Amino acid sequence: MNSYYFLFEISLILFSTKLLGLISRRIKLPQVVGALLAGIIIGPGVLNLVVESEFIMQLSEIGVIFLMFIAGLETDIDALKKQGKACFTIAILGVLIPFALGLGTTYLFGKFGMQDVMGDSNLFLESVFVGVILTATSVSITVETLREMGKLNSNVGNALLGAAIIDDILGIIALSVVSSFADTSVQVSVILLKIVLYFVVMAVVSFVLYKILKNWFMDKENFKRQVIAVIGLCLLLAYISEEYFGVADITGAFVTGLIISAVGLKKEKIMFAVDDLSYAFLSPIFFASIGLKLVLPKMSMIIVAFAVVLSIVAIISKLWGCALGAKMFKFSNKESLQIGAGMVSRGEVALIVANKGVKLGIISNVIFAPILIVVIITTIIAPILLKLAFKEDKAKACENTTLAI
């Protein structure tokens, strides 16, 4: 293939995501839905014009890092602190309920419907791992949808972000525990220690950086240098989080955003500078890259049925579990539903966990295809559910504006 073909691939991603994003907006859907569909259409699953190369994967990773950095910038830290207990409860129930229902669904299908196609796999361990996959939440899709609706810096937005970060940590712990049954080199105690150490280190780093940046940002000149330094810092903390502590890189990016948000000075200018690059170039590549993963093998009717049922279970379990957690902390029925809808997307996080299961020999190829379908369906349906959940709020806002006029 021509060594410059990647230029054509990127241009095609940018054009298609923008076009389908505008069409999505035209039919009252979040633009991110169009971007996800663009990836599916131009990818190996349909037209096969773009493949998920290492270069595209790396750009998409930077895209989601920038997205979570901006989310941190827009987060109200005081509101996030106040909702700490609520976020933890939402995350706990958003992990336990999908885990239990995912495990049960897979085990029942394996025992009574797919015993002929699953072969000699350890059914219970595989079912447990599918449960772990369903605990995952891809908050990046939700962040983009909330930003589009102007709801990111709200009670619901803050609760979603806090719960998603905790969900990610709980997911790492669950993955480590299950992986240890198949891989003796995985030590759960070491992973738990690294997670605790990570938050201690981040607390110290945040305090030091806050003091340094607060003084430096007083300087009204050198703004370009400050932006470059902040972007470099964001990427560095993302790298340290993933490489040395096993915590998702987006957590490091989110922490960087929170630090700049706490500093306050030049926050809006930095956000605009980063947002332009993210919106115009990196975010479309990230959203399209999820659709590029859709390459399905031939499946029997029982496997298709399993994929459909598992998709329904994945949506309902997160929606119900997280909404129940929110309701326990006096969020209204509508706000609880909004929080539940925002946690439905599994996205790239679930795929990473699923690929880990395949490498360990826990997840069979028979089960991997339905999981891929679950990831795509939940990722596309989540922003639609979120838009519907906020629909009445938007209608009320329009009504209030009309009355004011």
> What's 53's DSSP letter?
-
Q: Mean of the pLDDT values across residues 41-69?
A: 93
Rounded to 5 degrees, φ, ψ at 97 are: -70, -50
Instruction: Give pLDDT tens digits for 195-216.
Output: 999 999 999 999 999 999 998 8
Burial status of residue 138 (CB atoms within 10 A of its CB: 0-12, 13-18, 19 or more): buried
The Cα–Cα gap between 123 and 104 comes to 11
- Say what the pLDDT of residue 399 is: 43
Q: Both tokens of residue 74?
A: 């827009």
Residue closest to 318 by CA, chosen among 100, 144, 141, 152: 100
Q: Mean of the pLDDT values across residues 140-156?
A: 90
Query: By percentage, how much of the chain surpasses pLDDT 90?
Result: 60
**13 and 281 Cβ atoms separated by less than 8 Å:** no
Q: Mean of the pLDDT values across residues 259-282?
A: 88
Q: Is the pLDDT of residue 404 over 50?
A: no
The Cα–Cα gap between 390 and 147 comes to 13
User: Sign of torsion, CA 270 141 393 27?
Assistant: positive
**74 and 152 Cβ atoms separated by less than 8 Å:** yes
pTM reported for the whole predicted model: 0.85
Q: What angle do CA 105, 108, 113 make, to 5 degrees?
A: 115
Top-tier CATH class for 5-404: mainly alpha
- Say what the pLDDT of residue 398 is: 46
| Residue 233 pLDDT class (50, 70, 90 cuts) | very high
Instruction: Give pLDDT tens digits for 335-393.
Output: 999 999 999 999 878 888 888 888 888 888 788 889 999 999 999 999 999 999 998 65
Q: Both tokens of residue 307?
A: 């994929």
Residues composing the chain? 405
- Say what the pLDDT of residue 392 is: 65
The 3 state secondary structure assigned to 9-49 is HHHHHHHHHHHHHHHHHHCCCCHHHHHHHHHHHHCCCCCCC
The Cα–Cα gap between 334 and 379 comes to 21
The Cα–Cα gap between 67 and 194 comes to 25
**360 and 183 Cβ atoms separated by less than 8 Å:** yes
Q: Both tokens of residue 339?
A: 């929080």
- Say what the pLDDT of residue 308 is: 95
Q: Both tokens of residue 322?
A: 């997280």
- Say what the pLDDT of residue 402 is: 38
Q: Whole-number mean pLDDT of the chain?
A: 89
Residue closest to 380 by CA, chosen among 285, 275, 288, 248: 288
- Say what the pLDDT of residue 115 is: 67
- Say what the pLDDT of residue 16 is: 97
- Say what the pLDDT of residue 9 is: 95
Instruction: Give pLDDT tens digits for 1-44.
Output: 568 899 999 999 999 999 999 999 999 888 999 999 999 999 99
Rounded to 5 degrees, φ, ψ at 219 are: -70, 115
User: Sign of torsion, CA 66 69 70 71?
Assistant: positive
Residue closest to 374 by CA, chosen among 301, 293, 278, 282: 293
Q: Mean of the pLDDT values across residues 259-264?
A: 90
